[in-house]
Amino acid sequence: MAVASKPLRVLVGKVGLDGHDRGVKLIARALRDAGMEVIYTGLHQTPEQVVSAAIQEDVDAIGLSILSGAHNTLFRRVLELLKEQDAEDIALFGGGIIPDEDALTLTAAGVKALFGPGAPMEDIVKFVQGLKPQG
């Protein structure tokens, strides 16, 4: 009898002072509906809280929504903390209002994908599903 593979575990949240959470809640629901286990950290989290929760929950990915303009600082801090905790196998992706030039530097730094306003939910779900190794 084949053993069923465990579902992807994804932590989604809001870091910093940004209080707009409608989009991240919709993404959490879409990922859950696609069969993933989703942990939503809520509003006003610090990068330290997000990384700590991600490690405790043994997630495969972290998805952050940042609309405050602090994306360069916050994404880089999460990447730094993942490295410090030997948790670089946790994929970091996100969304928000991020200028193209910032998106390029963030992806070069290690953010796996960034989705702007209006990105189709299917694209986000397919991206996250693609993180799971086939086998």
Binned at pLDDT 50, 70 and 90, residue 133 comes out as low
Binned at pLDDT 50, 70 and 90, residue 135 comes out as very low
pLDDT > 90 fraction of the chain, expressed in percent and rounded: 83
Q: Is residue 134 part of a domain?
A: no
CB 18 within 8 A of CB 42: no
Task: State which residues form the domain around 24.
Answer: 9-129
Report the CATH number at residue 76. 3.40.50.280
Mean pLDDT confidence for 85-107: 96
Structure tokens given for 29: 């629901």
Q: What is the pLDDT of residues 72-88, one digit of tens each?
A: 999 999 999 999 999 99
Q: Is residue 96 part of a domain?
A: yes
> When comparing pLDDT for 21 and 1, which is higher?
21
For residue 12, CA distances in Å to 5, 56, 74 come to 22, 14, 14
Q: What is the pLDDT at residue 16?
A: 86
Mean pLDDT confidence for 112-131: 96
For residue 79, CA distances in Å to 35, 112, 118, 123, 133 come to 26, 11, 25, 23, 21
Q: Is residue 107 part of a domain?
A: yes
Q: What is the pLDDT of residues 51-68, one digit of tens each?
A: 999 999 999 999 999 988
Q: Is residue 94 part of a domain?
A: yes
Q: Is residue 2 part of a domain?
A: no
Q: Is residue 1 part of a domain?
A: no
Split into its structural domains, the chain has a count of 1
Place of tokens 């970091």: 92
pLDDT > 70 fraction of the chain, expressed in percent and rounded: 95
Q: What is the pLDDT at residue 88?
A: 97
Q: What is the pLDDT at residue 132?
A: 80
Q: Is the pLDDT of residue 134 over 90?
A: no
Q: Is residue 3 part of a domain?
A: no
Q: Is residue 125 part of a domain?
A: yes
Q: What is the mean pLDDT of the chain?
A: 93
